[in-house]
Structures are given as C-alpha cells and as structure tokens.
A and B are shown apart, each in its own frame.
Chain A
C-alpha cells in the first residue's frame, strides 16, 4: 500500500515537472509546427523567390497558410467562416490568426525583441510598434512588392495609400485601410454620406425643451439660458453632460479630446493649429479658451457637474439611458436615445453652433504589414492585392448579388444602383436591427485587411435616406479634410515624448481646476498659470518637434 502511494506521488511529481516545462516550451512547439508548414508546399515558395518578372502569369492558388497577428485583443475572426472559405477558394490562402490577450502591446513587443514576427501583422496605423518594425528594417516595402508582383493594383488602391504613408526613406511599409481620400470624399458627398452616424453632436431632451417653449439654442448663451430654465424645473437632472471619458488618459497631446474636453466639435477647437508652416498646440488657441469659458460658465451656474469627468463609459451611457442629463455630447447614432423615465419622448440632435468644426485627416485606421519573416512575400502581396480589389470587396463586404433577400447567410445582400453596389433595403434593415447578430452569421464587413472606404462604405450609402440628407445639411458644411495633419504622434520613448507626457500629466491635474473655478477670471488666470508651467516644461519644444514632423511628412508626399 505504502509503496503504491509513493509510486503515485512520484508519478504526480514527474507529471507536474513535465507540465511546467511543457508550459514554458509550448511556444517553441508552435513555431516548429508553423515552420514545417511551408515545406508542405515547396513549389510555391520557390517560384516566389525565383520569379522577379512582373506577373502577367496566372496567379497561384496553391494552398498556403499565413500566420497573421492582429494587435487587437477584441478581434473576433478565426478564419472558420463563410467569408474565409470564399477567400481561400479564390486565393488559396488560409490565415492562422492570433491576437493578444490585452491591448498593451506586450505580445507584439516580445515578438519584436525576439525578432520572430508572423507572416502578416495587422495593427492600428498609429501603433508605435509599426514605427519600430520599420526602423528595425523588419518589414518588406509594400511599394516594392507591388511594383514587382502586382503593379495593376495601383489602379484600384486609393491614391493616398502609396503617397501619404511614406517612411523617411521614401518607401511605404504598410497598407492602410479606410483611407478617406479625394475619391472617397467626392463619392460620400454625392450620396449624402459625408456625415455618418458617428458624427459628434449634442443632444437635448425633447420633452424638457418643449416644456419651456423650444427657445432658440443655436449659440452658447442661448443654450445656457435654455438649460437654466429647464434646470429650474428639474433640479435633480444634470444640465449638460460632457463626453469626457478618456480625456485624462490620453497618450498624445495632439488628441482632439484634450482641447474639446468632452464638448465634441461645437467650438471648433483643434488639437493642432497651423500657423503658416509651423504647428502650434491647440491649447494656445482662442477656440480652446472658448471651451473653457463655456464649461466654466455652466459649472458656476450648476449646470455642469463633476460627474462628466469622473464617470466611466458604462456609467456614462447608463445615466443617459436613464434620462439623467438634460443635454449631452455623443454621436448622431447615440444622440436620439429614449430616456427610461419617459417613453413618449427622446433626445434630439441639436443644430451645431456656427463655430462647429471638424477637421478629419482622412488617414484611415488599420495598417497591414508584411514582415521579412514572411514565408512567401509574392503570395502575400497577391493576397492583399486581391483583398484591395473590387473582387475582394465583393467577398469581404458586399456579399451575394441579387434582388431578393432571404437570410443573412444566403443573401442576396446587394444590387447595383447607378453603378454602385448598394445593400438591399431588407438586408440593411436586418443589419441595423442587429448588426452583431447578422455579421456573426455571415462575417461580411469583418475582414478589413485592406479595405477601400469607397467600396467598403459604399453599399451602406443611400442617397435617399431623408434623415441623413438632413444631418448632412446640418453638419456637412463644417466638415473639412486635411491629410497634412496625419501621422503626427511623437515617439513616446524619446526625450521629446517624455516631455510631452509630463505636459499631459500637468494638464490632467489642471483642466478640472479651470472648469470648476469660481468665476471666469479665476479660470483664465489658472489657465495662464498652466500655460506658463507647460512652457517651462517644454511645450515649445514639443511644438517644434511637431513642426519638423509635419514638414518631413509633407516633403515626402
């Protein structure tokens, strides 16, 4: 008996040790497995490295597996759905997708320090890791690959894709998705879709507004006066609820919430302002001072509570769903909520002040890069070229062409209207009703590896949507595009990045003091005090770094 017991103990010990060691080495096992996979298709690998001629030859659709790392912890695709199946059928490519557990770049940085990158990397185009990979010479130049293997793709890529994202050596190392370039703006205007449901706006409770006779609220003073009247009747409500979640945790001083402080775009304050050829911080701008004065006035009248700058996103939306605020800042899509305490009314989107200004840089969102560790760069660029093409968008976004919609999976999803793919109204309605549910089934609009905004957003555009015709009239005139102000984030690990962070922290300690100062004069003197300290910390040097970055960016374009 005793013998048996001790044998058992022995076995358990050995198992635990093995388990421990296995856990440590599982990474190596994976690598062994993946590195063996290309050898299964030796033919394609060899042809890739051998062929240097521009390809008019037929594209290979031999099966090949690429490891793709997606640097978003929330990314939900696993290449086991209908869209993936269609893409594999069309290109032969199978993706083995991995993603991190948390959004703090730890996993990607470990890959970088081991120089063990996968075949494809998909990440935010402003992600510092991208810059690091470029500087470390770890990436293939996208334009060279395109010139070599898929020159015809230049016809369909947004023209900005290969001109506006050049590195300091003049080459482009990543393909950026969702660029809103010239073609996009033109098309969006044509379909009354420049202003979409994500346009920042203010909303006010219709029932309270009606109650005081719906006075004019089209300028700050009139708005404050109206709020005062409402608040007098509804003492326990929050007069104005700013959308300031995240203001105190911004990473870069050139983030617009730094200067808007949760007021959306109503005062037109910009994080960066151009002064001839130099860039200045928006914290110096008169528009920003208007924001302070406005918020301070609200606060001194008791119309703005500290909640705005304390509440988390969850509590923020909870309070709005409850109907606690009289007015709030959010987007058009979230600007017409029905308050829980009165089902017969809703919030309504306010006409913007004449100072409303939104400057979009139109520079897109995600970027996909091909590391030099890629097992077959030819097939990789061909794959991306396919995804960038109209054909690719048909598979990843448009769906099945036809006239009768049956269900999310079978379609049909779209038909051609005046030469533009447009979702069938029934399908669009199903999407609007339950976007997540529908796209979970068919995965259309989930694989944005190289998305062209015109083709991507196009099917959703309906030039006859009355609501959005109206919104585009209200906001369209205040929307501007300025691609020259993209790619301005400074390296957070450099000396100037450290200075920038110190100013951000100083600001985080100060802005609530401006807003909740006892009167405007105090607010402005605190602001002056802050600016003096910021200058002492080196705000001017940060501005100089921005200016250099700006000039370098635009010299490259």
Chain B
C-alpha cells in the first residue's frame, strides 16, 4: 500500500510538467463553464436585475409551467425537433461520403482545391450567408432565373415566403456550408490508415469499392459514431437552427421557422426576462443531456463505439 502510494507520487513527480499543462484548461473550464452554471438558480426565482442573483422570491417551477402552457413554445419545440432531424438525415452522412470520394481522387492538386473550396463556406458569418441566400432566392433572383431558364418551373418559387420550404432550405444551406468542413476529420482518420493494409488488400485482389468498404469505412467508424452521438445530443439546440430562424425567418414562414433559440431570445433576453430565458435553456440542456446519454448507451449496445 505504502509502496503503491510512493509509486503514485513518483509517477506524478515525473509527469509534473505535463500535468501542469492541463491546469489552464481546467481553470478555463471551471471559470467559464462550471461557475456560471450556478446562475441556473434564477430559473426558479422571480428575478430582477436590481436584486441580483441571490435576491428575488423562489417561485419553484412557475417559469416551466408557463413555458409548457405556451403554444408558441410548443410550435418552437416542434420546429426545432423537425428541423434538426431533417438536417441530421440529410447532412450527417454527406461529409463521410464526401471524404471517401475525395480520398479517391488521384490528382493531388485538384483534391487540394476541392477541399479548400468546400471548406471555405464554413468560415462565412451567418449574416453574410443569409444575405446571399436572400438575394439568390428572391423571386427575381438568380436561382429562380436559372430554374425558369431551364424550363423547370414556369412561376418563380417563393423560397422564403413559403413555410413548407423552410426546413429543406435550412438543411440545404447546412449541406453547402458544412460538408467540406465536416469531411476534414474523416480525411484525417483515413490518412492515419497504415498503407500496408492497402497493399495487403491489393494483393488479395480487392478493388476500389472493396477497399473503401473493408478498410476506409471501418477505420472511420469510431469517428462516425462519436459525431453521431454528439449530433443526436445537439438535436434540441440544433446548430444552425437559430441563425436560420433569426436571419431567414419572416412573417410568411414563421410557422416553420420559429425555433427554440428564437423563442428564448425573443421572450427571454429581449423582453429582459432573464429568469424565464434561463428556464427555457435549462429545459433544453436537460433534454440534450438525456439525448446524449441515450445515444451513447445505444451506441454501446450496438457495437461498443461509445464516447464514455
């Protein structure tokens, strides 16, 4: 026992320098992630900025009751879940396929160009993306002109004025913006595969498709699962949902574009109802946590590629 402890201390001693390096990260987490979490208490309070965090009356679950009784909340919840699910379906596998395809391109220069070009949209601010989208998707905009020029449509499509288009529109924008960026992590995983394995497969007579199926895919399976779990956990927040709702939403597509992020901003922060906003966000956090745990548990049951 005594020996073990000494061993432990000696081990730590040897690694002290490395252990110390973790300190800034730990402190950052503590200060910016854990300490603020304490503010959650105002979700159960009648909060007034003048009374501060500790003032105000405890009101239990009143904010939550108000939230669940609010039909705007229900609309927002429905839209958030629908939009996130559609995005998950459409955009999740795209980077995987894209990375696999990109990996097969023999011309290094073309490959580089393709990768750079597809990664760029990720770095654009959403305000710019939304403005470009609005100009392009205008009934008199370039997309309608192309479609009618090709004879596909005879009347301009009002992309932004029809609530039935909104979810697909959001998913398409995500597809355009994030596919290239998302592929990077898979490309990295593929690059890490030992070339000997390919050579062995070649000797065994495996073609391209077989190599992809039996070598590349299994190699990135772990990465895919991890990202899938994270994506599922994020369904209730839904990545770009808020940006799209806030910047591309309007009175015509409101039925479909009103999402939880917008609801929180509009009824919480802008109305200066911080406690209510906290309550809505706490609800989202809890759902996200449950989803994450469920997805992780599911992944473990299926094939053991869970995160924790």
List A residues at the B interface (Cβ < 8 Å).
Answer: 6, 9-10, 13, 16-17, 20-21, 24, 104-106, 109, 112-115, 128, 132, 135-136, 138, 236, 247-248, 251, 305-307, 309-312, 314-315, 324, 492-493, 497-498, 501-502, 505, 508-509, 511-512
* Cβ–Cβ < 8 Å partners of A105 in chain B: 272
Q: Does B172 contact A (CB under 8 A)?
A: no
B27 touches A17 (CB 8 A): yes
What residue of chain A has the Cβ atom nearest to residue B25's Cβ?
A: A16
What residue of chain B has the Cβ atom nearest to residue A21's Cβ?
A: B27
Q: Does B111 contact A (CB under 8 A)?
A: no
B229 CB to closest chain A CB (Å) equals 30
A24 touches B272 (CB 8 A): no
CB within 8 A of A113: which of B27, B49, B267, B273? B49
What's the Cα separation between A10 and B21 when bound, in Å? 8
10 A–B contact pairs at CB < 8 A? A9-B21, A20-B31, A106-B269, A128-B272, A236-B140, A248-B250, A251-B271, A497-B271, A498-B273, A508-B251
A505 touches B72 (CB 8 A): yes
CB within 8 A of A509: which of B23, B51, B160, B254? B254
* Cβ–Cβ < 8 Å partners of A128 in chain B: 272
A315 touches B131 (CB 8 A): yes
A184 CB to closest chain B CB (Å) equals 32
B161 touches A315 (CB 8 A): no
* Cβ–Cβ < 8 Å partners of B140 in chain A: 236, 324
What's the Cα separation between A314 and B128 when bound, in Å? 12
Q: A310-B134, A312-B134, A508-B251 are in contact. Are A305 and B139 (CB under 8 A)?
A: yes
* Cβ–Cβ < 8 Å partners of A10 in chain B: 17, 20
CB within 8 A of A251: which of B24, B49, B160, B270? B270
Q: Does B135 contact A (CB under 8 A)?
A: yes
Q: A306-B252, A493-B272 are in contact. Are A113 and B53 (CB under 8 A)?
A: yes
CB within 8 A of B24: which of A16, A104, A312? A16
Q: Does B138 contact A (CB under 8 A)?
A: yes
B272 touches A309 (CB 8 A): no
Q: Does B52 contact A (CB under 8 A)?
A: yes
A310 touches B272 (CB 8 A): no
B250 touches A309 (CB 8 A): yes
* Cβ–Cβ < 8 Å partners of B161 in chain A: 306, 310
* Cβ–Cβ < 8 Å partners of B28 in chain A: 20
Q: Does B50 contact A (CB under 8 A)?
A: yes
What's the Cα separation between A109 and B53 when bound, in Å? 12
A104 touches B50 (CB 8 A): no
What residue of chain A has the Cβ atom nearest to residue B18's Cβ?
A: A9
* Cβ–Cβ < 8 Å partners of A132 in chain B: 49-50
List B residues at the A interface (Cβ < 8 Å).
Answer: 17, 20-21, 23-24, 27-28, 31, 48-53, 72, 131, 134-135, 138-140, 158, 160-161, 250-252, 254-255, 266-267, 269-274
A258 CB to closest chain B CB (Å) equals 13
B17 touches A6 (CB 8 A): yes
B251 touches A501 (CB 8 A): no
* Cβ–Cβ < 8 Å partners of A305 in chain B: 139
What's the Cα separation between A306 and B159 when bound, in Å? 11
* Cβ–Cβ < 8 Å partners of A16 in chain B: 24
Can you name 10 extra interface pairs (CB under 8 A) apart from A307-B139, A493-B48? A6-B17, A9-B17, A10-B17, A106-B269, A109-B272, A112-B49, A312-B131, A492-B271, A492-B273, A497-B271
* Cβ–Cβ < 8 Å partners of B255 in chain A: 509
* Cβ–Cβ < 8 Å partners of A135 in chain B: 50
B251 CB to closest chain A CB (Å) equals 4
Q: A13-B21, A132-B50 are in contact. Are A309 and B251 (CB under 8 A)?
A: yes
A310 touches B250 (CB 8 A): yes
A311 touches B50 (CB 8 A): no
What's the Cα separation between A512 and B163 when bound, in Å? 13
A209 CB to closest chain B CB (Å) equals 22
What's the Cα separation between A333 and B148 when bound, in Å? 38
* Cβ–Cβ < 8 Å partners of B17 in chain A: 6, 9-10
What residue of chain A has the Cβ atom nearest to residue B274's Cβ?
A: A109
A17 touches B271 (CB 8 A): no
| Shortest 10 CB-CB contacts between residues of A and residues of B | A16-B24, A136-B50, A512-B251, A492-B271, A306-B161, A6-B17, A113-B49, A310-B250, A112-B49, A109-B49
* Cβ–Cβ < 8 Å partners of A501 in chain B: 267, 271
What's the Cα separation between A132 and B50 when bound, in Å? 8
What's the Cα separation between A173 and B251 when bound, in Å? 39
A315 touches B273 (CB 8 A): no
B254 touches A13 (CB 8 A): no
* Cβ–Cβ < 8 Å partners of B272 in chain A: 105, 109, 128, 492-493
What's the Cα separation between A498 and B135 when bound, in Å? 35
A235 CB to closest chain B CB (Å) equals 11
What's the Cα separation between A324 and B161 when bound, in Å? 19
A104 touches B20 (CB 8 A): no
A318 CB to closest chain B CB (Å) equals 8
A339 CB to closest chain B CB (Å) equals 15
A24 touches B271 (CB 8 A): no
* Cβ–Cβ < 8 Å partners of A21 in chain B: 27
* Cβ–Cβ < 8 Å partners of A109 in chain B: 49, 272, 274
* Cβ–Cβ < 8 Å partners of A236 in chain B: 140
What's the Cα separation between A132 and B47 when bound, in Å? 13
What's the Cα separation between A512 and B158 when bound, in Å? 15
CB within 8 A of A24: which of B21, B23, B31, B52? B31
A63 CB to closest chain B CB (Å) equals 33
A17 touches B139 (CB 8 A): no
What's the Cα separation between A16 and B20 when bound, in Å? 11
What residue of chain B has the Cβ atom nearest to residue A112's Cβ?
A: B49
What's the Cα separation between A314 and B132 when bound, in Å? 12
* Cβ–Cβ < 8 Å partners of B267 in chain A: 501
* Cβ–Cβ < 8 Å partners of B271 in chain A: 251, 492-493, 497-498, 501
* Cβ–Cβ < 8 Å partners of A113 in chain B: 49-53
What residue of chain A has the Cβ atom nearest to residue B75's Cβ?
A: A509
* Cβ–Cβ < 8 Å partners of A311 in chain B: 134
B304 CB to closest chain A CB (Å) equals 36
B61 CB to closest chain A CB (Å) equals 17
* Cβ–Cβ < 8 Å partners of B269 in chain A: 104, 106
What's the Cα separation between A24 and B24 when bound, in Å? 13
* Cβ–Cβ < 8 Å partners of A492 in chain B: 271-273
B138 touches A307 (CB 8 A): yes
What's the Cα separation between A17 and B131 when bound, in Å? 41
A13 touches B50 (CB 8 A): no
Q: A13-B21, A20-B27, A113-B50 are in contact. Are A509 and B139 (CB under 8 A)?
A: no
What's the Cα separation between A110 and B97 when bound, in Å? 48
What's the Cα separation between A502 and B75 when bound, in Å? 14
B50 touches A17 (CB 8 A): no
What's the Cα separation between A508 and B267 when bound, in Å? 14
A531 CB to closest chain B CB (Å) equals 18
